[in-house]
Amino acid sequence: MSTTDTKGTEKESADDLGAAGSQLSTAPREEAPNLPSLGVIGWARWFWRQLTSMRVALLLLFLLSLGAIPGSLIPQSGTDATKVADFMDRHETLGPIYEKLGLFHVYSSVWFSAIYILLFVSLIGCIVPRTWQFVGQLRGRPPGAPKRLTRLPAYTTWRTGAEPEQVREVALRVLKQHRFRAHVAGDAVAAEKGYLREAGNLLFHIALIVMLVAFAWGQLYKSEGNKLVVEGDGFANTITQYDDFKSGSLFSIDHDLEPFSFDLKEFKGTYEVSGPNKGTPRTYEADVTYSVGADGEEKRTTIKVNEPLKIGDSKVYLVSHGYAPVVTVRDGKGKVVYKGAVPLLPQDSNVTSSGAIKVLDGYRNADGEREQLGFNAFFVPSFAGEGQGTMLSQFPALLNPRLALSAYHGDVGVDSGIAQNVYQLDTRKLEKFEDSDGELLTERLAPGETMQLPDGAGSITFEKEIKEWAGFQVTEQPGSGWALLGAIAAIGGLAGSLFIQRRRVWVRAVRGADGVTVVEMAGLGRSESAKVPEELGRLAAVVYDAAPTAPDAPPERTQDQDPDPSDAQPTEEPSADTSTPDPQVVSAEGADKQ
Amino acid sequence: MTLAAATELAAVTDLSGVTELAAATNEQLAKYSDVLIHSAMVVYTLAFFAYIAEWLFGSRSKVGRTAAALTAGAGKKADAPAITVKQAGGTAVLERPQVVVRSATGARDVPDGPGAHGGDEKGDLYGRIAVSLTVLAFLVEFAGVLARALSVQRAPWGNMYEFNITFSTVAVGVYLTLLALKKNVRWLGLILITTVLLDLGLAVTVLYTESDQLVPALHSYWLYIHVSTAIFCGAVFYVGAMTTVLYLFKDSYENKLMSGGTPGRFATSVLERLPAAASLDKFSYRVNAAVFPLWTFTIIAGAIWAGDAWGRYWGWDPKEVWSFITWVAYAGYLHARATAGWKGRKAAYIALIAFGCWLFNYYGVNIFVSGKHSYADV
Ligand code: HEM
């Protein structure tokens, strides 16, 4: 197993350090993919080992990112169905192939799901044994010192007059003070620190699972609907009230819609009134009263663009707005046959709007026959002024509103059973009202003005009161709290995993051949890092203070405590190259001070 | 369904939440900004020549440590721990212990090169001048970005021009910070400044956009968090990617020496002065690993913002997809480093692919793909 993060030659280093370097991480050991010779169970075990190996995890990560690419380049039916239809029209051969491969809904396609499900099975298969292993490591003690401490990446030694037991005692105390887990094992103190790295890593991987489950849950149970509400009107959260509604595959209409209702009291929009950004929206606010449950208490609130109203798992977003001029339609006898606010759809950023007014029943024409009326409506909140001709708004607020109407009568076509767009007039079965020139009767009205229909057919009045409407999107995505929790845990775990170094320190103190105590200290990190020798230097300095150099140590001799002299080849201190100090030697920080 | 149209219009008309940014474009400031950016380019160009001078003078000195360490019977030496003990001439001076560092078994024991100046004094002088000029250019560019931001009274990343100038400023800032932290990274200067000049050249010619208002959906404090961390992560990833490329060159060079080959003179002159391949590899790993949690946070911040602004926190929008791909690619890189047989060069290739994904997320997605994020004016 890879214990020291070296390049290649794992075996050699394992021999070198024995158990000392083992289990600095719980990463699964890499095995050569030997094909099993046993039957079904052998194969299953083999397959499971492969699936939970780092190599396959890497491969699956790679596949996941590759698999995500087509969805960003090919139109997706989930986000833009018209583009998909367009693509199908333009590519006669490619289209059906893409369709078969699920390329129009990559992120819910079988193959993409297969990749991430495999990845997460692999992840779970990886986490469970690693967690056990880690718990085992926490219960056990840091492994004892390897025979040759000189072999370790950071090493220091000195001779001291203190007794070996004394040195070990000091070392144990110092290491514990530095929050190492330490114990005396034989002639040396063994210590380890940085377990949070492993804990962080496990937390991160577990958090990934939490996030995925929360996300999948949200997708399956989500719902999303839109509703246009005119000022003064209300909305209750039942499916029939929505203008349109989408939901995840496990969503159940009977159980899953949060019971609440709200009324739109007032919509307020303010706009930049001057400067180069004249007309740019500044605020949009919808004042609403809402109540939760069948007979909940009524509360007031304001919904803004980036501040949805949150009720349970549901959020109510303000997504659009427009004007709803109030009109009154009378028949030839002056009887009101229609009165109401007609929401119109904005066409540009200054809210030039269009729509249709339909009078479906209650109207009788001059001959007393039942008929329907239809009007094409254009509305501008800020008319440029007489002579400026075009019905294009100059500003989004109600500065100088005008309503232009053209009038039809006959069969609006609502009864035919085909769903109709309420904002468009189907003129196929309608007859024009004509003006004196025989053209379509069209008039532009200021608030309070009335347009007379010819031959005593009645009239339509553009009332002074002009309402606004707001478009709301109601979404419900359960599990988002869990997703957020998982995300926060993931970042925390990741930081622990990447910033904390797990390392071991050993302090050996033995009586040398000449009766003087020899202290050796060595450090080993999971990966090579400058921090390990630096920390060892600091620890050595503290231990050194308690066990200073033996005064009778022969100073000229290079010290060589290695049991196997051929192993350590002391070299002279580099002297020639002064401009660039030898990077291999780090001074024991603090040891030089005092 | 009738509201889709209305909703789309809303995206254009947009319902802005944040209001305090009353933003009358201040044309004067915008002009100052343009002048400052152009001035920064001039100073960067001077810095560029100073870095060139550093490399040129450095080539006079003969540094051959890598070659020395890897050839001439070095095979044995690499395995030997370099134990050094201070000797105090004759008298019994009480010596403090020295910590001896050795590479892990099996790793090459190659000393780091001295840097672009190659130990040459004049080269070093030019290098210092280059860094000073870089600091100056950075300050000027920073002022330019600031003026731009003030002129529109919003964060300076509303379009690709602004993104480019901000990005290069942050990248240079990261480099200077590393220098200030006494990290050995001056050798990165020439490549960095060359690419910064290219980036700015592209910005002021192709991508230039008059200072202008932001699409109001972008008015959210999550934008500030999300985009600023994204830019910062990009800059750090960029430093990591440049180092990775150098690592690949240096590693090939060392491999060639190990196998007894003689690399070309130019390669020798340049690569001898860079840190050892192992150091470069470690440095790029640290850099990439250090920002990876921040990149994770960036994506999550984006999701939170999307949740508030668009009613769903994750919708596989092209920008989201590519952020995700970048994230998975970097996760793959970190995994590769922990997987036997994938360390070293293979992991380095993954790191480069991951950075490629980051770049594509910025340029490619803005230019070739349309999605909700397409605020960028090309
Ligand atoms: C959703 C997919 C996954 C992602 C995004 C992911 C991400 C990461 C990241 C970012 C790290 C770096 C932390 C570090 O270097 O310490 C990491 C480490 C690790 N991952 Fe994963 N991982 C995923 C799946 C897996 C799977 C399936 C396995 C099991 C085979 C696994 C095993 C490990 C191990 C053992 C480490 C620690 C390596 C070490 O000790 O350096 N991961 N993972």
Measured in angstroms, the CA of B143 and the nearest CA of chain A are apart by 25
3 state SS for A458-482: EEEEEEEEEEEEEEEEEEECCCHHH
Q: Which residue has the higher pLDDT, B79 or A416?
A: A416
Cα gap B365→B357, rounded to integer Å: 10
pLDDT over 50 at A556, yes or no: no
Say if the Cβ atoms of A58 and B339 lie within 8 Å. yes
What is the pLDDT of chain B when averaged over all its residues?
79
Q: Is A57 in the pocket of ligand 1 (CB under 6 A)?
A: yes
pLDDT over 80 at A225, yes or no: yes
Q: Is A160 in the pocket of ligand 1 (CB under 6 A)?
A: no
Say if the Cβ atoms of A64 and B328 lie within 8 Å. yes
Q: What average pLDDT does the segment A475-504 reach? A: 90
Atom of ligand 1 nearest to the CA of A126: 29
Which residues 26-55 of chain B have a CB within 8 Å of chain A? Answer: none
Measured in angstroms, the CA of B66 and the nearest CA of chain A are apart by 14
CA-to-CA dists, residue A586 to A155, A523, A559, A580, angstroms: 10, 13, 17, 13
Q: What average pLDDT does the segment A361-377 reach? A: 87
Q: What average pLDDT does the segment B269-282 reach? A: 88
Say if the Cβ atoms of A579 and B19 lie within 8 Å. no
Any idea how long chain B is? 378
Measured in angstroms, the CA of B27 and the nearest CA of chain A are apart by 11
Q: What average pLDDT does the segment A396-414 reach? A: 87
pLDDT over 50 at A563, yes or no: no
Provide, rounded to the nearest whole percent, the portion of chain B with pLDDT above 70: 76
pLDDT over 50 at B232, yes or no: yes
Say if the Cβ atoms of A345 and B6 lie within 8 Å. yes
Instruction: Find out whether A425 and A356 touch, Cβ atoms under 8 Å.
Output: yes
> B60: which residues sit within 8 A by CB, 6+ positions away?
B118, B120, B123
Q: Is B325 in the pocket of ligand 1 (CB under 6 A)?
A: no
Cα gap B205→B34, rounded to integer Å: 12
Q: How many angstroms does the Cα of residue A205 sit away from the middle of ligand 1?
A: 7
Is B181 an interface residue toward A (CB < 8 Å)?
A: no
Residue in chain B closest to A594 (alpha carbons) equals B96
ipTM value for the complex: 0.82
Q: In chain B, which residues have their Cβ closer than 8 Å to the Cβ of A542? A: none
Q: Is B225 in the pocket of ligand 1 (CB under 6 A)?
A: no
Q: How many angstroms does the Cα of residue A367 sit away from the middle of ligand 1?
A: 82
pLDDT over 90 at A494, yes or no: yes
Q: Whose CA is nearest to atom 28 of ligand 1?
A: A123
pLDDT over 50 at A86, yes or no: yes
Going by C-alpha positions, the residue among A281, A112, A318, A95 that lies closest to residue B22 is A281
Measured in angstroms, the CA of B43 and the nearest CA of chain A are apart by 30
Per-residue model confidence (pLDDT) at position B95: 55
Q: What average pLDDT does the segment B253-273 reach? A: 85
Q: In chain B, which residues have their Cβ closer than 8 Å to the Cβ of A587? A: 98-99
Residue type, A360: L
Q: What average pLDDT does the segment B267-294 reach? A: 90
Cα gap B88→A557, rounded to integer Å: 10
Q: What average pLDDT does the segment A91-118 reach? A: 87
Phi then psi for residue A345, to 5 deg, are: -90, 135
Place of tokens 């159980």: A255
Q: What average pLDDT does the segment A186-212 reach? A: 93
The shortest CB-CB distance from B111 to any of A321, A396, A583 is to A583
Q: Whose CA is nearest to atom 4 of ligand 1?
A: B331
Cα gap A311→A260, rounded to integer Å: 8
Q: Is A393 in the pocket of ligand 1 (CB under 6 A)?
A: no
Question: With bands split at pLDDT 50, 70 and 90, how would you rate the model's confidence at A467?
Answer: very high
Instruction: Find out whether B243 and B236 touch, Cβ atoms under 8 Å.
Output: no
Please measure the distance between the N-terminal and C-terminal CA atoms of chain B and give it in whole angstroms.
33
Residue in chain A closest to B320 (alpha carbons) equals A72
Instruction: Find out whether A458 and A363 touch, Cβ atoms under 8 Å.
Output: yes
Q: What average pLDDT does the segment A500-524 reach? A: 89
Q: What average pLDDT does the segment A458-471 reach? A: 92
The shortest CB-CB distance from B85 to any of A477, A541, A558 is to A558
Atom of ligand 1 nearest to the CA of A25: 40
Q: What average pLDDT does the segment B300-319 reach? A: 83
Digit-coded pLDDT (tens) for A272-283: 777 666 777 777
Q: Which residue has the higher pLDDT, A39 or B244?
A: B244
Is B72 an interface residue toward A (CB < 8 Å)?
A: no
pLDDT over 90 at A379, yes or no: yes
Q: In chain B, which residues have their Cβ closer than 8 Å to the Cβ of A12? A: 105-106
Q: Is A52 in the pocket of ligand 1 (CB under 6 A)?
A: yes
Q: Which residue has the higher pLDDT, A545 or A328?
A: A328
Say if the Cβ atoms of A72 and B7 lie within 8 Å. no
Atom of ligand 1 nearest to the CA of A116: 1
Asked which of A61-65, A494-498, B106-110, B195-199 is least confident by mean pLDDT, the reply is: B106-110
pLDDT over 60 at A16, yes or no: no
Asked which of A173-182, A461-470, B117-126 is least confident by mean pLDDT, the reply is: B117-126
Digit-coded pLDDT (tens) for B179-194: 999 888 999 999 999 9
Q: Which residue has the higher pLDDT, B368 or A259?
A: A259
Q: Is A502 in the pocket of ligand 1 (CB under 6 A)?
A: no
Per-residue model confidence (pLDDT) at position B273: 87
Is B14 an interface residue toward A (CB < 8 Å)?
A: yes
Is B93 an interface residue toward A (CB < 8 Å)?
A: yes
Q: Compute the Cα dihedral for A55, A56, A58, A59 and give only its sign.
A: positive
Q: How many angstroms does the Cα of residue A69 sit away from the middle of ligand 1?
A: 22
Measured in angstroms, the CA of A454 and the nearest CA of chain B are apart by 32
- Of A205, A501, A502, A528, the residue with max ligand 1 atoms within 8 A of its CB, to mutate for a pocket test, comes to A205
Say if the Cβ atoms of A477 and B99 lie within 8 Å. no
Is B3 an interface residue toward A (CB < 8 Å)?
A: yes
Per-residue model confidence (pLDDT) at position B78: 36
Q: How many angstroms does the Cα of residue A538 sit away from the middle of ligand 1?
A: 32
Question: With bands split at pLDDT 50, 70 and 90, how would you rate the model's confidence at A18?
Answer: low
Which tokens sit at A333? Answer: 């006898």
Instruction: Find out whether A163 and A517 touch, Cβ atoms under 8 Å.
Output: yes
Asked which of A163-172, B211-220, B233-242 is least confident by mean pLDDT, the reply is: B211-220
Interface test with B, best of A130, A221, A226, A305 (most B CBs within 10 A): A305
SS3 state of residue B231: helix
Place of tokens 């070659």: B67
> A516: which residues sit within 8 A by CB, 6+ positions away?
A159, A160, A161, A550, A552, A553
Q: What average pLDDT does the segment A121-142 reach? A: 91
What is the pLDDT of chain A when averaged over all its residues?
81
Q: Is B331 in the pocket of ligand 1 (CB under 6 A)?
A: yes
Q: Whose CA is nearest to atom 6 of ligand 1?
A: B331
Digit-coded pLDDT (tens) for A288-326: 999 988 777 889 999 987 788 988 878 898 888 899 999
Q: Whose CA is nearest to atom 43 of ligand 1?
A: B335
Q: In chain A, which residues have their Cβ closer than 8 Å to the Cβ of B213? A: 276-277, 280
Q: Whose CA is nearest to atom 12 of ligand 1?
A: B334
Say if the Cβ atoms of A30 and B98 lie within 8 Å. no
Per-residue model confidence (pLDDT) at position A17: 61
Atom of ligand 1 nearest to the CA of A130: 35
Atom of ligand 1 nearest to the CA of A127: 29
Per-residue model confidence (pLDDT) at position B104: 56
pLDDT over 80 at A19, yes or no: no
Say if the Cβ atoms of B336 and A58 lie within 8 Å. yes
Q: Whose CA is nearest to atom 41 of ligand 1?
A: B338
Q: Is A561 in the pocket of ligand 1 (CB under 6 A)?
A: no
Which tokens sit at A342? Answer: 């007609």
Instruction: Find out whether B189 and B131 touch, Cβ atoms under 8 Å.
Output: yes
Per-residue model confidence (pLDDT) at position B179: 94
Question: With bands split at pLDDT 50, 70 and 90, how would you rate the model's confidence at A389?
Answer: low
Strand-pair partners of A375: A357, A407
Q: At what angle do helices A195-221 and A110-139 cross, to 10 degrees?
A: 150
